[in-house]
Structure 1
């Protein structure tokens, strides 16, 4: 299930900027970095659904406005970093703003299908959680939702963005799912999980599997709004299909005013091919044969 990452250059660009600034510890402060570039940064109570921020250009001067209605520092940091993606990535400012002056509304949060928005999202995640600083933090973070919460606290990032970045950087087979009600918004899988044979991708706008804790959790709206969390066991087949019935861990948490649910699937111990062959051989050797 290997795939080519068409947006890796955006991540690389962000990480090179952080290294070039000589930053050697987390968290990254995108507002301070913007102001050091003489980019004005302004908080705005943007109530338009989906709007996370704005990049404004007037001649050679830029300003960034970011949404505050979610009252979430991590979301605000991501929004500012997303606008910095439009500022730093070659061709972005000209593509999203027509002429020498104007403004561009962004919808950060890994939900857009627009090329420039996807690239800015990837830039933002890597800008706030660059691999050379994020890798060592992962080793100390723990596992499951607890690991993501610890990393989010360290990096001052949202659970949503941190969970996605965690799947990109961890060496463990892990998946995170963002859902709303009975529908999957999107799923991210770690490289080691993607490369396992015989499992399927979870498709955007697909249904949440009914025999899972996530499905039950999402039937109660207050679970999401009040940030309720649940821990349970699940099964690889329930989520990804395939022929292997393997128990896994499923952590679920409501994302509050964001209106969505985060699911973390981990402890996914897929047998090595040689182990499966040995087990099949053992079953075969112990299966009685009856004469006809």
Structure 2
């Protein structure tokens, strides 16, 4: 049984803001939304690393600072949207800033186990890629890494954030894995893939399976630094175990200054339930019976 998403409400709240502002086309500009609330937005110096953004409060006035050291406009947009999540979501300002004057430092990017950071990440995804605008875009984008790249260009979001949102919205069986070296940072699976019985879900800090193109790709550091991309054929058993040998496509790309690798697993031809039942019946019909 698939657990309900505890953070879905944050994305829905962001989508309602987009609709309320009458925004009807992608991309959504988080700077414009901040300005409408008289929130000052400013980039941090390139040499200033260590966090993705900050929300500053001085009484009833707010300001947002965002990281620029990755030189990635998509990441910067997500960082601003993340801070807007802290501003808009009920209870966030009081939870992350003590009193009426102070500052909260964020590390956006779907890595934090903190509830408020996770909610702000989901808010940012919903704000920049609202479902009512994102669904039609997905239908036209194609498949695999190429589709995610098209959507990232359209939404002006990072490949990382776009890939995660893609798994949350697509009807197709797909998984994205972000890894660093031989270790999995995190994995997101679409609802269609989660329905496949008998597979193991990849967990944070697990090793990247050694017999995959991603493992070999990560052994060469310049692949990540230079944003090299690779398109290979893999097998679902290599990644998720189980008894089914299902051929899948494995696209891999280095994320440059981000220091990580994005893997997209797709073209997964899931067996129909009735096909499995027919196979079991066929095996049963050919199993010899011996008298005792």
Scaled by the length of structure 2, what TM-score is found?
0.96
Aligned to 1:138: 138
**Matched-pair contact (CA < 8 Å) for 1:43–1:67:** yes
Aligned to 2:186: 186
Structure 2 unaligned segments of length 5 or more: list them.
none
Q: What do the CA deviations read for 1:72-112 (whole angstroms, capped 9, x no partner)?
A: 00000000000000000001011111111111110000111
Aligned to 2:209: 209
What displacement does 1:8 show?
Answer: 1.0
The CA distance in 1 between the partners of 2:239 and 2:199, in whole Å, is 9
| Alignment of structure 1 residues 214-253 onto 2, 5 Å | 214-253=214-253
The CA distance in 2 between the partners of 1:260 and 1:13, in whole Å, is 30
Q: Does 1:44 align with 2:41?
A: no
The CA distance in 1 between the partners of 2:74 and 2:258, in whole Å, is 12
The CA distance in 1 between the partners of 2:277 and 2:48, in whole Å, is 56
| Alignment of structure 1 residues 1-292 onto 2, 5 Å | 1-45=1-45, 47=47, 50-282=50-282
SS of 2:31's partner is helix
The CA distance in 2 between the partners of 1:177 and 1:50, in whole Å, is 23
SS of 2:154's partner is helix
The CA distance in 2 between the partners of 1:30 and 1:270, in whole Å, is 38
Structure 1 unaligned segments of length 5 or more: list them.
none
Distance 1:228 1:290, change over 3 A: farther
What displacement does 1:260 show?
Answer: 0.2
**Matched-pair contact (CA < 8 Å) for 1:227–1:254:** yes
**Matched-pair contact (CA < 8 Å) for 1:109–1:161:** yes
| Range moving further from structure 2, 268-277 or 77-86 | 268-277
**Matched-pair contact (CA < 8 Å) for 1:46–1:52:** no
**Matched-pair contact (CA < 8 Å) for 1:227–1:256:** yes
* Paired residues, number: 291
Scaled by the length of structure 1, what TM-score is found?
0.96
**Matched-pair contact (CA < 8 Å) for 2:175–2:190:** yes
The CA distance in 1 between the partners of 2:6 and 2:109, in whole Å, is 18
The CA distance in 2 between the partners of 1:193 and 1:173, in whole Å, is 4
SS of 1:222's partner is helix
Backbone CA RMSD of aligned residues: 1.6
| Range moving further from structure 2, 45-54 or 146-155 | 45-54
What displacement does 1:280 show?
Answer: 4.0
SS of 1:3's partner is coil
The CA distance in 1 between the partners of 2:49 and 2:234, in whole Å, is 33
What displacement does 1:9 show?
Answer: 0.9
